[in-house]
Amino acid sequence: MIRLYNIVKDIWDVAALELDRIFHDGGVVLLFCVATLIYPWIFSYAYQNECIRNLPMAVVDDSHSVESRRFASKLDATPEVNICYKCNTIEEAHRLMQQRAINAIVYFPKDYGTRVVTGETARACLFCDMSSFLYYRSVFTAANAVLVDEMQFIEADRYSRAGLSGESRAQLVQPIQVDDVKLYLPNGGFTSFLVPALLVLVLHQTLFLGMCVLYGTTREKRLIVRSVPARLRHQGILYRVTVGRALAYLIIYLPMTAINLLLLPRIFNLPHIGNPMSIVVFVIPFLLAAIFFSMTICSFVRNRDAGIVVCIFFSVILLFLSGAIWPQSNMPRFWLYFSYLFPSTFGIQGFIRINSMAATLSQVKFEYLMLWLQAVVYFFTASGALHYLLHLRSGRHVSERM
């Protein structure tokens, strides 16, 4: 019983010492407490309008036919685009695009109406501003919907001329009734697709960056030995130091995580159909794995600024490796296995499935167990790195005194 009390007391003393170090460093407090909350709010607010509506567009109609006007009218009726200009030449429309007055052009050649009437292959050209992927997505969505509807209209008109009408004509035009249901992303918005992954990545990266700054400052000022209680250092029971430091980071990041992953999706109406308790249970091994991973890497950071370079370099890479932007099934084997080194990979995958797809813990068992495995492995690597640094620093101290 006394031994258990001593263990708990040592862990709490280390946690208190670590919290004191954190809150006496303004840069670390800014990263842990301010950046962790501000970044998700900025992302959610900036992408609050999930879809682009009424994108300005120009039409160039060299056909001057009923068919081209009908197509343009249907296109203008879609919520995605708005035909603001009717140009006489393609050069005039191109100048408008260079002036950023429009973002797309639809061009009907002279033989468009004739080819539609005679049953030949008719072509209409669509030009889109690719400076933003969302421009292309909106224009393509609108054009594809109009194209499908126009093809059905033309086909129904031909069957009418052949003497068919009513139910028989409808079955020939559309023999199979198709209902398009977008699972887990009904509005097809950019925010609901990207921001849930960013919420988890922000937690991972701010934690890593803040610890890099803290550990880099410790090495710059040669305070590695002083940052560890003397009794634990002399007795060599450094695992209590690792656990105590992890406890300090958990005390800070558990409320931050609750705000970002539970409260923020409800405020900005992001997907939040998962069980909150499942999210809480899943997040605990994620935070532990991220903490011990950061401890391991940050132990080798020599100065305060080095972690910023590492964090900036890896942030976009980790977002792609997570599988939220690019599917893991299409990744080369090397990069897939490389992504398993980072807690953010399993954290993002598991959180999206629980929060956006209403998965249970048993359905994210692989990610959950991998996070616990990472937490255990990185706990030992973090303890080993701390032992190495103390041994290295003690050796240098002896050499300097001699």
User: So where are the chain's domains?
Assistant: 2-48+189-401, 55-173
**Higher pLDDT pick, 140 / 46:** 140
Q: Give the 3-state secondary structure of the chain.
A: CHHHHHHHHHHHHHHHHHHHHHHCCHHHHHHHHHHHHHHHHHHHHHCCCCCCCCEEEEEEECCCCHHHHHHHHHHHHCCCEEEEEEECCHHHHHHHHHCCCCCEEEEECCCHHHHHHHCCCCCCEEEECCCCHHHHHHHHHHHHHHHHHHHHHHHHHHHHHCCCCHHHHHHHHCCCCCCCCCCCCCCCCHHHHHHHHHHHHHHHHHHHHHHHHHHHHHHHCCCCCCCCCHHHHHHCCCHHHHHHHHHHHHHHHHHHHHHHHHHHHHHCCCCCCCCHHHHHHHHHHHHHHHHHHHHHHHCCCCCCCHHHHHHHHHHHHHHHHCCCCCCHHHCCHHHHHHHCCCHHHHHHHHHHHHHHHCCCHHHHHHHHHHHHHHHHHHHHHHHHHHHHHHHHHHHHHHHHHC
pLDDT band at residue 392 under the 50/70/90 scheme: low
pLDDT band at 223, cuts 50/70/90?
A: low
pLDDT at 374: 96
Average pLDDT over residues 99-108: 93
Task: Determine the Cα–Cα distance for residues 161 and 107; give it in Å rounded to an integer.
Answer: 28
Weakest-pLDDT range from 108-122, 179-193, 282-296: 179-193
Q: Which of 8-22, 123-137, 156-170, 269-283 has the lowest mean pLDDT?
A: 156-170
| pLDDT > 70 in the chain, percent | 87
Q: What integer best gives the mean pLDDT of the chain?
A: 85
Query: Which pLDDT score, from 0 to 100, does residue 401 have?
Result: 44
pLDDT of residue 107: 95
Q: What's the rounded mean pLDDT across residues 270-281?
A: 91
CA distances from 371 to 141, 244, 277, 302, 312 (A): 39, 20, 17, 28, 23
Q: Is the predicted pLDDT of residue 226 greater than 70, yes or no? A: no
**Is domain 55-173 given the CATH code 3.40.1710.10 in the classification?**
yes
| Axis-axis angle for helices 190-220, 276-298 (nearest 10) | 40
What pTM did the predictor assign?
A: 0.82
Average pLDDT value for residue range 105-119: 90
What's residue 380's pLDDT?
93
Per the CB < 8 A criterion, the answer to whether 27 and 216 are in contact is no
| pLDDT score of 391 more than 80 | no
Mean pLDDT, to the nearest integer, of 205-218?
A: 87
**Mean pLDDT of the region 190-197:** 84
At 397, the pLDDT band (50, 70, 90 cuts) reads very low
Contacts of 269 (CB under 8 A, 6+ apart): none
Out of 76-80, 155-159, 391-395, least confident range: 391-395
25-29, 82-86, 161-165: least confidently modelled range: 161-165
Phi/psi of residue 36, each to 5°?
A: -60, -30
